[in-house]
Chain A
Amino acid sequence: MDVLSSLSQLFEFNTLWTIALGTLGGLIIGALPGLTATMGVALLIPMTFGMAPVVGLNMLIGIYIGGIYGGCVSSILLRTPGTPASAATVLDGYPMAQRGEAGKALGMATIASMIGGLFAAIILATLAPQLASIALEFGAPEYFALALFGLTIIASLSGDLLKGAISGLLGILVSCVGADPITGVLRYTFGFSGFASGFAFTPALIGLFALSEVFTQMERLGKSEIPIRNVSGRWPSRSDMRESRGALVRGSIIGTIIGIIPGTGSGTASWIAYNEARRSSRHPEKFGTGYAPGIAATESANNAVCAAALIPLLALGIPGDVVTAVLMGGLMIQGLAPGPMLFQTNPDVIIGIFGGTFIATIFMFIFGMALIPVFSRILLIPRQMLTMTIVIFCFIGSFAINLNPVDLYTMVGFGVLGWGMHKFGFSQAALCIALILGPMMEANLRRGLLQSGDNLVTFASGPITLLFLSLTVLSLGWPMVSRLKQRRRNHIKSPE
């Protein structure tokens, strides 16, 4: 009865309308490069001051869910990750769009986002208190091991292992710029105050993927006319869905787990999901060439993170990522202290948020599917004009985040770097992963050493640490083992 009355408030016209508006707004914010879900939520919090708690919070959750989904649109169509969460979607989404399957790629992304989102929402509504404790198990050694495991993706992503390693190490080096995480000393700023907080992540990403692609396109434009591609369709074929089944399941589960671990976020989740989908696929060689399961993995993972990040926030009062940290501010303005007591003191709010997460995910699916033809028509714009428009968006997006001119230099610098890397066969994705995971690995390595009095054993104790370390070894060793097997099999087949 109580649950029903708490749920019925969601179906009032006002609430539904606000959630729909939030989701659509988030979708657009996410689709525009540079405008991230975090920003959308942060800037719209003041609007919720006057709303009832459930209405206001669900609008913010709508923006969050819509925003993380919306990022895939520009990733697929323009090779510009709309938000850092969908950087990994570029790998298979953009090649599909290049092949004329933009509609199908977007459809796959939308379906995957819904599946991941609903999966995590179900977990949120049923197992939040039980699972939330995972969040508390993570100390410095656990984070370090997780980051190390994440970095092994680099090895499997890059065809050329040496070049992949160089890209990854370059990423780690670049992420060292700015304040030292433990002592606060400024490093590699060369006395330039603009570098004091390091390179801003989103502008770096925009430069790395979008601006560099513009440069590559420009080279091609000079040589020949690029044909306009067919963009029709929105539903993935039955065989696409069948092949993506494993990727969707893995993506949803990985996204949910990573979402619960505080401070990791949807960028990490989508890269790990991509790698796992690829490793377990029967056609790993197809990943990166425009293969639907690649999109299915990343998009189901990053949308699963949204609902999953709410688990530690609501159950423990600990935000799972940056957006939920901002949401926590929203809760506190409503006079609600997030924490385990919220379940007892305000069950109506908790149930309202559970329900709102489902509704926002469904709205996201409806809007996403309905807008695919509109979005993919972007590709019908003549290349010359589209390229210039992307350049403008690169600049606006990078500047809009912090209104900091240094971010523009960052974007252009990474654009040139990305173009050069692409030209000489270095993996931009490897650099991107290192930018995400490098700082996490360094800060936790140093914090762990500080806390244990420089005892390295701390990084090899505890079940979670050991689990991730063995996954790391497996992840690095498996390709070698399977190659050996392959060679032996070939050897037996053709004895010469």
Chain B
Amino acid sequence: MNKKLIMAAALLSATLSTEALAFPDRPIQIIVPYAAGGGTDLSIRLFAESFERNIEGSTMVVRNQPGGGGSIGTSGALFPRPDGYTLGTGAQGPLALLPHLGGTPYTIDDVEFIGLFGRNLQVLVSCKDAPFSNFDEFLEYSKTKAAQIGNSGAGGANHISAEAFAKAAKIKIESVPFGGSSEARTACVGGHIDAMVASPAEALGQVEAGNVSVLFVMEPERIDLFPDAPTAVEKGIDFTWSSWKGVIAPKGIPAEELAFLRDAVKTTVADDEFQKKMEEMGEFVIYEGPEQYEARARADSETAEAVIRDLGMYGMNN
């Protein structure tokens, strides 16, 4: 009798202790809405590695769910059970651009922002044999002709940023969509287009080789990698743009878990080795808390909406 009681008490305390066990007590899954091996995928893999190293007892599994320009994986991350065990990659395209094109089951209002960990700076480069090779020549050329600017896909971040610049600078451009940034880069180095939007790391090798030159940097200030390239702002055009990625989750995660995840992301990003590896890959590591992250996403979403409406692409996939 007594023995049974003790057994029952032991069992009860055992179940209680599992219930009280600190979050996370099983692997956390993070969804990448792109195929394995791309820039976003690699940075999430580095992130997961740093997360496991810094958050004791945690396991983070990266799951690729590509398709639909990132919308499939993003909705996969926004509508599971909100228990904190399924997170998503909050990238600019799927969050700030795609909902305006239509056909996504989510909008930016469905997103719980956890923390931003990286930005991708953008530059506009002129391609081989282009009729212009610096900012002033580019604007001069654009007065009479529409420069052909390559992008990595219609409605994608590069497309929208090029068009947003054209809108701010009041010039005409002709956007030429390619299937991915490497296709666009090939066409650019081969001289089949006039210009393209690229990341500084992507552009560096080709700039050194003299195949392309940087027209301007889409940042508020000049960057170390290309100190001679002007910003649009200093040329009197109110335009900045960068793409970004962070960690997002579905709405409705219990406050305690949410706070834990937000702290964990901050710790993960602060890791020296993570920062070093990311920088080697040409990523610009920066931590932004949930409020700042959300503000950035919403601001880009508004800019993008205006451009997409101008292009007549608003809601085209509804």
A residues bordering B, Cβ < 8 Å?
Answer: 38-39, 41-43, 45-46, 49, 135-140, 179-186, 193-194, 196-197, 262-263, 312, 316-319, 325-326, 328-329, 332-335, 337-342, 402-404, 443, 447, 450-451
A185: chain B residues at CB < 8 Å are: 316-317
Residue B39 at the chain A interface, CB threshold 8 Å: yes
Known contacts A325-B182, A443-B179, A332 near B209 by CB under 8 Å = no
Contact B186 A135 (CB under 8 A): yes
Name A317's closest neighbour in chain B (CB-CB): B205
| Contact residues, B158-189 vs A (CB, 8 A) | 174, 176-180, 182-183, 185-187, 189
Query: Nearest-CB distance from A184 to chain B (Å)?
Result: 3
B192: chain A residues at CB < 8 Å are: 139-140, 451
Known contacts A136-B186, A184-B177, A186-B317, A42 near B41 by CB under 8 Å = yes
Query: Nearest-CB distance from A59 to chain B (Å)?
Result: 15
Contact B105 A193 (CB under 8 A): yes
Contact A184 B313 (CB under 8 A): yes
B residues bordering A, Cβ < 8 Å?
Answer: 35-39, 41-42, 45-46, 49, 63-69, 71-72, 75, 101, 103-105, 128, 148, 153-156, 174, 176-180, 182-183, 185-187, 189-193, 201, 204-206, 208-209, 211, 277, 280-282, 313, 316-317
Q: How far, in whole Å, are A49 and B50 apart by their CA atoms in the complex?
A: 13
Name A179's closest neighbour in chain B (CB-CB): B69
User: Which of A196, A316, A342, A451 is the one whose CB lies under 8 Å from B189?
Assistant: A316
Q: How far, in whole Å, are A182 and B287 apart by their CA atoms in the complex?
A: 35
Name A323's closest neighbour in chain B (CB-CB): B37
B316: chain A residues at CB < 8 Å are: 183-185
Q: How far, in whole Å, are A43 and B64 apart by their CA atoms in the complex?
A: 10
Known contacts A196-B72, A197-B66, A443-B179, A341 near B209 by CB under 8 Å = yes
Q: How far, in whole Å, are A287 and B38 apart by their CA atoms in the complex?
A: 39
B204: chain A residues at CB < 8 Å are: 337, 339
User: Which of A139, A193, A263, A338 is the one whose CB lies under 8 Å from B71?
Assistant: A193
Known contacts A184-B153, A340-B209, A329 near B179 by CB under 8 Å = no
Known contacts A46-B45, A338-B205, A135 near B190 by CB under 8 Å = yes
User: Which of B67, B105, B180, B277 is the one whose CB lies under 8 Å from A333?
Assistant: B277
Contact A451 B176 (CB under 8 A): yes
Query: Nearest-CB distance from B196 to chain A (Å)?
Result: 13
A45: chain B residues at CB < 8 Å are: 37, 42, 45
Contact B208 A263 (CB under 8 A): no
A179: chain B residues at CB < 8 Å are: 68-69, 154
Q: How far, in whole Å, are A317 and B208 apart by their CA atoms in the complex?
A: 12
Contact B64 A402 (CB under 8 A): yes
Contact B64 A403 (CB under 8 A): yes
Name B154's closest neighbour in chain A (CB-CB): A184
Q: How far, in whole Å, are A342 and B209 apart by their CA atoms in the complex?
A: 10
User: Which of A184, A197, A450 is the one whose CB lies under 8 Å from B176?
Assistant: A450
B191: chain A residues at CB < 8 Å are: 136
Contact B67 A319 (CB under 8 A): no
User: Which of A197, A332, A335, A342 is the one whose CB lies under 8 Å from B68?
Assistant: A197
A262: chain B residues at CB < 8 Å are: 182-183, 186
Q: How far, in whole Å, are A287 and B194 apart by their CA atoms in the complex?
A: 46
B201: chain A residues at CB < 8 Å are: 332, 337
A403: chain B residues at CB < 8 Å are: 63-65
Name B192's closest neighbour in chain A (CB-CB): A139
User: Which of B49, B75, B206, B280 is the one whose CB lies under 8 Å from A339?
Assistant: B206
Query: Nearest-CB distance from B14 to chain A (Å)?
Result: 34
Query: Nearest-CB distance from B86 to chain A (Å)?
Result: 13
Q: How far, in whole Å, are A443 and B153 apart by their CA atoms in the complex?
A: 11
Q: How far, in whole Å, are A341 and B182 apart by their CA atoms in the complex?
A: 18
Q: B71, B104, B182: which has the most chain A beta carbons within 10 Å?
A: B182
A316: chain B residues at CB < 8 Å are: 189
Contact B177 A182 (CB under 8 A): yes
Q: How far, in whole Å, are A43 and B38 apart by their CA atoms in the complex?
A: 11
B187: chain A residues at CB < 8 Å are: 139
B155: chain A residues at CB < 8 Å are: 184
Query: Nearest-CB distance from A461 to chain B (Å)?
Result: 13
Query: Could you name 6 residue pairs across A and B whose Cβ atoms are closer than 8 Å?
Result: A193-B72, A317-B189, A317-B205, A319-B182, A341-B208, A451-B192
User: Which of B67, B75, B183, B281 is the one whose CB lies under 8 Å from A197?
Assistant: B67
A180: chain B residues at CB < 8 Å are: 154
Q: How far, in whole Å, are A312 and B68 apart by their CA atoms in the complex?
A: 29
Q: How far, in whole Å, are A319 and B35 apart by their CA atoms in the complex?
A: 16
User: Which of B49, B128, B180, B186 is the one whose CB lies under 8 Å from A46?
Assistant: B49
Contact A183 B72 (CB under 8 A): no
Contact A337 B205 (CB under 8 A): yes
Contact A329 B205 (CB under 8 A): no
B63: chain A residues at CB < 8 Å are: 403
Contact B277 A329 (CB under 8 A): no
Q: How far, in whole Å, are A136 and B103 apart by their CA atoms in the complex?
A: 36
B206: chain A residues at CB < 8 Å are: 317, 339
Q: How far, in whole Å, are A493 and B153 apart by their CA atoms in the complex?
A: 61
Contact A181 B189 (CB under 8 A): no
A339: chain B residues at CB < 8 Å are: 204-206, 208-209
B68: chain A residues at CB < 8 Å are: 179, 193, 196-197
User: Which of A46, A193, A318 is the one whose CB lies under 8 Å from B185?
Assistant: A318
A402: chain B residues at CB < 8 Å are: 35, 64-67
Q: How far, in whole Å, are A172 and B41 apart by their CA atoms in the complex?
A: 31
